[in-house]
């Protein structure tokens, strides 16, 4: 079965020209999902900053920067790449609502056998945000 024939041009574009790829120095949140036994591993890094909210009073946290590193197939690389693009500059509350469906749509669709890659990308984003929140909690409650 030849899956690469079913890759959309968007998927191939992200595979050959990945965005935001590489290690982040001093990330605010990191997560590694998948495992080498399955063949796909994604590492998501985020940098979060607080700024004055544009819609309500007070501050909101936004994802200032996002980076990824992936060991995996074409779809794995493409989904992690586009996921970083989709969360960069977004408020945290919006970014953590990212779904694999949205990732797939943004890529113009994925072959059925590759849907799990988009699920992994969603998981990576959510876990990175979770990690950021955990670190923030630990920083505030250092005597806990």
Q: At what angle do helices 9-16 and 74-87 cross, to 10 degrees?
A: 90
Question: Is residue 128 involved in binding other proteins (CB under 8 A)?
Answer: no
62 versus 121: smaller Cβ distance to other proteins: 121
* Per-position DSSP letters for 43-78, written without gaps between them: EEEEEEEEEE-SSSSSEEEEEEEEEEEEES-HHHHH
8 versus 69: smaller Cβ distance to other proteins: 69
In angstroms, rounded to a whole number, what is the distance separating the alpha carbons of residues 15 and 119? 17
43 versus 88: smaller Cβ distance to other proteins: 43
In angstroms, rounded to a whole number, what is the distance separating the alpha carbons of residues 86 and 37? 28
3-state secondary structure of 111: coil
Strands 40-52 and 29-35: antiparallel
Active-site residue, selected from the candidate residues 11, 48, 107, 117:
117
Residue of the chain from 9, 26, 36, 141 that contacts other proteins (CB under 8 A) = 36
Smallest separation (angstroms) from other proteins to the CB of 50: 28
Question: Is residue 99 involved in binding other proteins (CB under 8 A)?
Answer: no
The sign of the torsion formed by the CA atoms of 119, 124, 73, 19 equals positive
41 versus 48: smaller Cβ distance to other proteins: 41
Active-site residue, selected from the candidate residues 16, 22, 23, 38:
38
Binding site for other proteins (CB under 8 A): 1-4, 12, 15-16, 18, 21, 32, 35-43, 69-77, 113-114, 116
Q: Which residues are the active-site residues?
A: 38, 117
């Amino acid at each position: 079965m030849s899956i690469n024939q079913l890759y959309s041009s968007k998927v191939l574009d992200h595979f050959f020209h990945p965005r935001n790829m590489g290690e982040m120095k001093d990330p605010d949140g990191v997560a590694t999902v998948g495992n080498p036994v399955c063949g796909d591993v994604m590492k998501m890094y985020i940098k979060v900053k607080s700024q004055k909210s544009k819609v309500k009073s007070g501050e909101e946290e936004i994802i200032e920067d996002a980076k990824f590193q992936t060991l995996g197939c074409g779809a794995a690389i493409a989904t992690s790449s586009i996921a970083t693009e989709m969360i960069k500059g977004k408020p945290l509350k919006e970014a953590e609502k990212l779904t694999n469906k949205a990732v797939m749509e943004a890529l113009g669709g994925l072959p059925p056998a590759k849907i799990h890659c988009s699920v992994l990308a969603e998981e990576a984003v959510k876990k990175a945000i979770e990690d950021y929140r955990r670190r923030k909690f630990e920083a505030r409650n250092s005597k806990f």
